[in-house]
Amino acid sequence: MQVGVPQEIKNHEYRVGLVPSTVNELTRTGHRVVVQHNAGTGSGFSDAEYSAAGARLTGDIEEVFSQSDMIVKVKEPQPEERRRLREGQILFTYLHLAPDPDQTRDLIRSKAVCIAYETVTSPGGGLPLLAPMSEVAGRLAPQVGAHSLQKANGGRGVLLGGVPGVLPANVLILGGGVSGSHAAMIALGMGANVTILDRSHDVLKRIDTRFGGAVRTAFSNAQTISELIESADLVIGTVLIPGASAPKLITRSILGMMKPGAVIVDVSIDQGGCCETSRPTTHAEPIYVVDGIVHYCVANMPGAVARTSTMALNNATFPYVMALANKGWKQACLDDAYVRRGVNVIGGAVTCEPVAIAQGLEYRSVEECLQ
């Protein structure tokens, strides 16, 4: 199989789909890899390293798409990339389709086989290809929140950890999953008062055990959110329903309860955001203010630490890339039910039910498409 690795073109996106060591594994097993010039430079990988790993380098993005059986990316394909996809071609990347009808429509039109990292599951019910970036985003959230709290950025002028004689900031985290627990760890390490809300009692018990009671926990509902958000200096939204749009836990009316200059970091923005007033931003212009509340809603947060993120992502995606290259998408899906759950679009059919529901589209199962 020929595998193509284009340079990411989303705003300030420096990650890359494959690192040289993964390219080397592919070429050693007989596959061919074409990499666009400078695709890895943002993550610290030179063209020379890719060449030494057996890749063919090209400056022509059209060549990467037209000559490859499988395209491996990081972020969802941008409009100009979607126009290059063709019928039967495999696209393996993050998609986050539920809140993005334009992308869904283009992928349907392409008739490509579109497999989303974020909906591939594991035997334990986890999301193995989303987890590494959730860890990164969770650990970044208190950092960017602390920066946004600075007065020059429109924030309250509060130091997250306080100082002797001055109380630390209150951090409220919505969702105790991978991102939420990692956000709690960093916020706690920075000296903040941390509270996590979740609707799973098992998750809340796990948080309590992990942090030994240092992080407060509460069951998440509208009343609890309303009560706790009044005292929050920083709110970090990490709620996730796999494949579906994030629920709007923070309504516009709730903003009026918050302290002026408080900050919302909406990690859930890839899936539409958990705040009614959230809209995707970029690393170039990461924040905006609504009703006196600072919103940080960068849709590719891990891209800020591209080398760490790229290496962590490749560690997770490597076995799936190899399986798809060795077997083709049909056999890989037949052999692995968890890979099947990653397939969102096949030949013009939407095969991820939460996406179909979110956009009012007809749903067809992957199993039907394999018959």
pLDDT tens-digit map of 185-233 = 999 999 999 999 999 999 999 999 999 999 999 999 999 999 999 999 9
> How distant, in Å, are the alpha carbons of 66, 205, 230, 335 from that of 219?
51, 11, 17, 39
Are 65 and 88 contacting, i.e. CB atoms less than 8 angstroms apart? no
* DSSP structural state of residue 275: B
Is 31 catalytic? The answer is: no
Percent of the chain whose predicted confidence (pLDDT) is above 90: 96
pLDDT at 244: 85
Considering 31, 96, 182, 295, which one is annotated as catalytic? 96
How many angstroms separate the first and last alpha carbons of the chain?
A: 23
pLDDT at 338: 95
Report the candidate in 300, 304, 312, 305 with the shortest Cα–Cα distance to residue 22.
Answer: 312
Are 262 and 156 contacting, i.e. CB atoms less than 8 angstroms apart? yes
Mean pLDDT over residues 318-333, rounded?
A: 98
pLDDT at 131: 94
Mean pLDDT over residues 140-145, rounded?
A: 98
Mean pLDDT over residues 57-82, rounded?
A: 97
Are 161 and 191 contacting, i.e. CB atoms less than 8 angstroms apart? yes
Q: Is the pLDDT of residue 371 over 90?
A: no
| 283: Cα within 13 Å, side-chain hemisphere | 13
As a whole number, the mean pLDDT across the chain is: 96
pLDDT at 243: 81
Pairing outcome for strands 287-290 and 263-266: unpaired
Q: How far apart are CA 43 and CA 257, in angstroms?
A: 41
Q: Is the pLDDT of residue 368 over 90?
A: yes
Considering 31, 182, 270, 295, which one is annotated as catalytic? 270
For 294-322, the pLDDT digits (tens) are 999 999 999 999 999 999 999 999 999 99
- Which distant-in-sequence residues (6+ apart) come within 8 Å of 36 by Cβ? 5, 6, 7, 57, 58, 59, 60, 61, 64
pLDDT at 26: 98
pLDDT at 275: 97
pLDDT at 124: 85
Q: Is the pLDDT of residue 240 over 90?
A: no
Report the candidate in 245, 314, 351, 325 with the shortest Cα–Cα distance to residue 20.
Answer: 314
Report the candidate in 51, 129, 55, 114 with the shortest Cα–Cα distance to residue 81.
Answer: 114
Is 270 catalytic? The answer is: yes
pLDDT at 191: 98
Q: How far apart are CA 151 and CA 262, in angstroms?
A: 10
* Confidence (pTM): 0.91
pLDDT at 88: 97
Report the candidate in 232, 180, 184, 203 with the shortest Cα–Cα distance to residue 250.
Answer: 232
Mean pLDDT over residues 327-354, rounded?
A: 97
pLDDT band at 286; cut points 50, 70, 90: very high
For 36-54, the pLDDT digits (tens) are 999 999 999 999 999 999 9
